[in-house]
Each structure stands twice: as structure tokens, then as C-alpha cells.
A and B are shown apart, each in its own frame.
Chain A
Amino acid sequence: MPFILKLPEIAESVVEGEILKWLKKEGEYVKKNEPIVEIETQKVTVEIPSPYEGILYKILEKEGNIVEVGKPIAILTEEGEKVEEKIELTSPPKLVEIKEKEEKIEAQEIEIKVKDKVLASPSARKLARDYGIDLSKFSFEKKVIRKKDVLTIIEKIEKEKRTKEEKKEVEVIPLKGIRREIAFRLRESKAKAVHTLHVDEADLTELVKLREKMKSLAQDQGVKLTFLPFVIKASVYTLKRYPYVNATFDDEKNEIILHRSYNIGIAVATDEGLVVPVIKKADQKSLIEIAKEISMLSDKAKKRELTLENVQGGTFSITNIGSIGGLFSFPVINYPQVAILGFHSIKKRPVINERGEIAVRDMVYLSLSFDHRVLDGAIAALFMKDLINYLEKPELLFLESI
């Protein structure tokens, strides 16, 4: 058997040494305890005596090499012994095997005689306590309850609750949040304002064409151009002629307040319910600015990030129900405002033109819900006629634009 000479431990805390000089050459005979190699370390220089008698078959570490303690530095053989080419110098890496006797020394076990306690980790106990779970009522396969076990229980309880709810004939939802606010506001509006409806229709064929052209221009600025900015613009121009429509009603003081700013509320549907953010000073903003503001406000509404500032100060409102469909609706006035415009689906419909022919046109129904206390029916009808005029001849919007 070949003997592998490893670098021995030379002095305390020395972990490596330099091969200073081999005192024997390869092939030379070495007696036991005869110095074979000179090693220099941080602390001392020593000659290492051979622990083996035989031939110095092969030197593994040259002079000048720095070698860790315990690493093979040479192979020695018996005289005439053949050595296989491959000698395994190091064992291949493997998972550490821990021998019981060697590493499992433990302090003496102390038996705890209290047996009727639930064993649980502190974080598991806290979670259970916070959730109101009595851990002693649950049986566990494991001896000690960990946080993840409590999480499993909670999940199970929640699931049971949900199935229970689903099985009931009725489901009782307490009124809270936005829904509560909506209920309160609508009841107030219906109780106070004298709701009256005026419905008319408009031919939007020209506006549809115009928007189609402008859409890609707006797209270049990263803005999605819908019909709503046109309706807002047209409404503002019409409102300027009918100051009593851009008004609010003070029931306490019995006063009608006419507004010189044109702050247009737009109804936005969210998962929580309808909200009406306001585009302030719409008369001073361009079409594209209004389009940008609409998408900003509806994003905020959907993320529930609207501020009080965003929803206050409206003087007139528009609700756009077109995307869903239907003929027309009777919107509820955003009290204390005095009117709200409903804008519905644009559909191709056959109509009789001036020449008495049937033509296919892009038609829309518009409904104006107004407080009859403030506005007479004739005013509402005239307001709608003018508004429709703007929408049917959108070039008028440019004539009056600032």
C-alpha cells in the first residue's frame, strides 16, 4: 500500500506552511524518522521526519508551495511496489454524516411533568389570540403548533364562513362607505329637487367623423379621445347662454346661486359605486386638456384615490351611459346642482332627412334631468336645442373656442 504523507500540524494555530526544501529526491530511499522535508511556517522552520520507511515515490507539492495543514505533500511506497496511476487523495464531497456518538452529546434531558398544556410557539399563540382561536379546541397531528398551523386553521374557518354565507337565502350587507354616501345623497336629491325629464335626440354623424380624424392626433400625445370631452365643451358653451342651468339651489336660504365658473361633474362607475369627480373651469381648458383630465380622474376614482378637492364644487353634471346601452335614462340630479345631462349610446338609425329621404345616421338620445323649481320646461327644451346644435355641427365649437 502506498503511504500518503500529509503536512502535519507543526505548532499551535499554524494552519499552513511553505515547502522550503525537499531533503530527499523522488526515487530515493527514506528511513523511518529520517528528515524528509523542510517546512517554514509563520512561527518556526522545521524538518519533518518521515513517519514511514520506503521509497519517495512522488512529490506532490514543489518547493515554494504554500500548503494547508492536512493536505497530501508526497507519496511513499515500499520497495518494488507498483502504484496505480490514480490514487484518491481527497474524498469526494458528500452530505455530512453526523455520527451519533461524536456530535450528539446533549445536556441531560429534564422531563416536564405538566401534561395538559397545548404546546405552541409564541408567534403561533399570538396569532391564535389575535384571531380569537382557542388552540386547545383543535387537535393537531404535530406535537408543537407552529405559526403555519394556525394560519391553516384560520384559512379553514374563513372558508367555512364563506360556504355558510353562500348557503343562506338572503345576504345582509350593512350600508357603509361609498354606498352609504350615495344612498344619503340620492335620497336628499329626490326629496328636495323637483325632478323633471326632457329627452331629445341628436344626429352625431359629423361629430363621429371628426372624432375619428382627431383620435389618432390625440393618440400621438398619449391621450384617448372619447366623445365626452366634446359633450363637455358643447355643454359649457350652451351653459354660458343659459346661466340658470349652471346653478345650485340653497334650500336653507331659499336662494338660487348662478355660477360664473363652469365646473363639470362626470359620473364614473367604480367597484365601490358611482362617484362624480369634477373638471374645474372646463371653459378655460382645451379639448385635449379635458380628455387628459377625464382619464386622470377616472383612474384616481378606480384606485379610490380621489381627494375632497376632486369631487367638490361642481356646477353641472354629465352622466355617460352609452357604453352599456339602453335607449335613455332619467338621471338623478347631483343636488344642489339643478341639472344633469344623460348622454347615451350612439347608434346608426334610419332617419328622414330634409329632402324627405331615409338616411342612415349616427344618432344619440340625450336626456336632461332638471329641478323644475329653478328651470321651466321651455328653458330646458331650449337649452337642449342649442346643445344639440353644437353637437350636430361640431365646427361651431371651433368658432367659439378660445
Chain B
Amino acid sequence: MVKKNIAEAIRNALDIMLSEDERVLVFGEDVGKKGGVFTVTEGLQEKYGEQRVFDTPLDENGILGMAKGLALYGLRPVAEIQFVDFIWPGFDVIMSDISKERFRSGGQFSCPLVIRAPYGGGVRGGLYHSQSPEAIFAHIPGLKIVIPSNPYDAKGLLISAIEDEDPIIFLEPKKIYFAFREEIPEEKYFVPIGKAKILKEGKDITLISYGYMIHECKKAIEELEKEGISCELVDLRTITPFDGETILNSVAKTGKVIIVVEAPKINSFASELSAFISERAIYYIDAPILRVTGWDTPFPYILEHLYLPSYKRIILKAKKILEV
């Protein structure tokens, strides 16, 4: 076992995959010589050379187009988009090509690639370094979207993602890249894509969340426990395809749900989960399904602390859901 934070755990996963599978390539803006703006790829170019870990021009369309070509050619590209906020010049490649190759070829080809990108707020990044667009990608069939909340899952999920036969968007919660270290195995291991994890069992309310928001949920749960309110915490881990079984069973148990995401509320992934729960488990529900989310405005620089769902907002909603 070794102690690692999320950034180090991701670097460790890349290191393992680069060393054991020569088809794996890592590239993006500043990932080579600099080692990434968040130090995630530090040392990898020195170890594996410029042929396998390399810098690209400042061109997201080019990065993703190249990734797609390499994947179709039989390689395993892991492309980094420096901040997910910068991904949009390459959106057409994702929307029209990467997500559809398997379907367009009638199953003859797949496009096994990973797009890594830091996402989310909480680091004073302002409008263009803070957004959480996972729901936009979740609307595209053919993609898988993965978001870890801790070092163990980050490493295991990334290894599963690189070995997956389908294109995966791997979003990294940048606020907690360095927030804490935990013991993880040194060797290779997998965390399955498509499986949520119940981080804490409880009986009064189900909290569903992912990424950095898991940690606000944990704080809220601690406070609520002091008042005798018991919450169950579901870490979704994979956004699509999401783990409906774990969600429905937890919801059926508690009868009350709060979904916490930091993206704007409208059409957020919290909305999809809310609809899913309504369709499948409405008769188990004993209170409105609540969403605690960012606000429907562009991400604010000055008001970041009010924009991001805080544990205090979760506590308020939890009390509201229990009153009557």
C-alpha cells in the first residue's frame, strides 16, 4: 500500500498502463515537458519518452481528432484536455465521430480512448476553469462518463477506462486533486465502470452525488448525525451508464432523496436521476425528490462560495425534506 492523493493516484494509473501496454499514449497541452498544469503527468515523459508522452499544440479539436484516429488505428490514446471548459472546439469530434464509431460501423470498429479533463469549481478559476458539463456529455449515447471522488477510485477507474473498448470521458475533480491522501494498492487493480458505491449506510435520507460534492455531503451527514438524522451516501462514480440498481434500492429503503451536483440545476444530471427515480420508484417516495445544485448562471468568480453547493445547503434541504 502507498499513500497517494488523487493527482498522484491518476499519475500512478497512467504509469502502470504505459509500462504494461505499449499501445497506451498520453498527450495534451503541457502534459509532456511540464508534466501537466496539475502535475498529474509529471515524470512520465522522462520515463517513457517523447514518442509516448508528448505535448500538443493548443488545439482541442486536433487533440481529440488525433485521439480518435489513433484509437481506430488500434492504439489506446489517453488525451488530456487541460480544463474541461476548453473542450468545446473538439465537441464535434466527440459528438459526431468518437461516440458514433461503433454504431456507424455496425459494430465492426470501436473507439477505445480516454479523454481526461479536470472539471468543477472551488479553486477560484472563474468562468472558464470551473464548470461541470458532465450532463452535456451524458446526453450523447455511445460515451461513458466517469468521475472519481477519491484516490482509490481514481486509479482503479482510470485503469478500467483505459482497458475499456468504448470511448470514456474521465472527469477529475480539480478541487480535491491534492486535498487528502489515502492508502491505495501499489499494483494494478480495477474499479468497475457502471457501479456506484454506498459510502455510508443510513435510513432517513439517501444522498446521491459524485466528485468533489461527495465531500460536502460527508460534512453535511456528520452534522445531521449530531441531530439524530441518518443519511445514506451513494457515490455514483460512473455517470453513464449509471447504477440504477444501487440507487433504487437505497431510495426504496429511505423514501427520501437529495441529489447533489455542482453543475447548474436545469438539465443537470441530478434532473435525469430525479426523473429515473420518479419513473421506477415513485410509490416508495415519501417526499419531493430534491436537487442541490449550482445556480442557473455562468460560473461566478466572486460568488463562487455561494454558487457551489455547500454542506450547509445540503443540511437545509435535509431538514426541509424531513419536516411535516
Contact = CB atoms under 8 A, between A and B. Distances in A.
Interface of A: 9, 12-16, 42-43, 95-96, 98, 102-105, 107, 121-124, 126, 142-144, 146-147
B227 A15 contact: no
Interface string B114-149: 000000001111000100000000000000000000
Given A95-B226, A124-B286, A43 B39 contact: yes
Interface in B2-54: 7, 38-39
B105 to A, nearest CB: 40
B61 to A, nearest CB: 26
Interface stretch (B71-79, B88-96, B175-183, B195-203): B175-183
A139 to B, nearest CB: 15
Contacts of B58: none
B175 A13 contact: yes
Interface of B: 7, 38-39, 122-125, 129, 174-175, 177-179, 223, 226-227, 255, 265, 282-287, 295, 306, 310-313, 315-316, 324
Given A121-B287, A142-B324, A103 B316 contact: yes
Given A42-B39, A42-B178, A103 B324 contact: no
A96 B223 contact: yes
A16 B310 contact: no
Contacts of A9: 124
Contacts of B179: 15
Contact of A105 (B38, B177, B255, B306): B306
A357 B123 CA distance: 110
Contact of B324 (A13, A42, A104, A144): A144
Given A42-B178, A98-B312, A13 B38 contact: yes
Interface residues of A, dominant DSSP: loop
B227 A95 contact: yes
Contacts of A102: 306, 312
Given A16-B178, A123-B284, A103 B310 contact: yes
A103 B38 CA distance: 31
Contacts of A147: 255, 286
B286 A146 contact: yes
A16 B5 CA distance: 12
Contacts of A142: 324
Nearest to A12: B123
A147 B312 CA distance: 28
Given A95-B223, A103-B310, A123-B255, A42 B7 contact: yes
A269 B147 CA distance: 64
A13 B177 contact: yes
Contact of B312 (A103, A143, A146): A103
Given A105-B295, A121-B255, A123-B255, 11 more contacts: A13-B38, A13-B123, A96-B312, A98-B316, A107-B265, A121-B287, A122-B283, A123-B285, A144-B324, A146-B324, A147-B286
B124 A12 contact: yes
A361 to B, nearest CB: 66
Nearest to B7: A42
B283 A123 contact: yes
Nearest to B284: A123
A374 to B, nearest CB: 62
Contacts of A13: 38, 122-123, 174-175, 177-178
25 contacts: A9-B124, A13-B38, A13-B123, A13-B175, A13-B177, A15-B179, A16-B178, A42-B7, A42-B178, A43-B39, A95-B223, A95-B227, A96-B315, A102-B312, A104-B316, A105-B295, A105-B306, A107-B265, A122-B283, A123-B283, A124-B286, A126-B283, A144-B324, A146-B324, A147-B286
A259 to B, nearest CB: 56
Among A96, A123, A142, chain B packs the most CB atoms within 10 A around the CB of A96
Contacts of B175: 13
Contacts of A95: 223, 226-227
A33 B207 CA distance: 46
B286 A121 contact: yes
Contacts of B287: 121, 146
Contacts of B312: 96, 98, 102-103
A237 B160 CA distance: 76
A161 B117 CA distance: 65
Nearest to A96: B223
Contacts of A126: 283
A199 B179 CA distance: 92
A239 B310 CA distance: 86
B158 to A, nearest CB: 19
Give the top 3 A-B pairs by smallest Cβ distance, nearest first.
A12-B123, A13-B123, A126-B283
B284 to A, nearest CB: 6
Nearest to A147: B286
A12 B283 CA distance: 45
A7 B226 CA distance: 30
Contacts of A124: 286
A122 B285 contact: yes
Contacts of B313: 103
Nearest to B174: A13
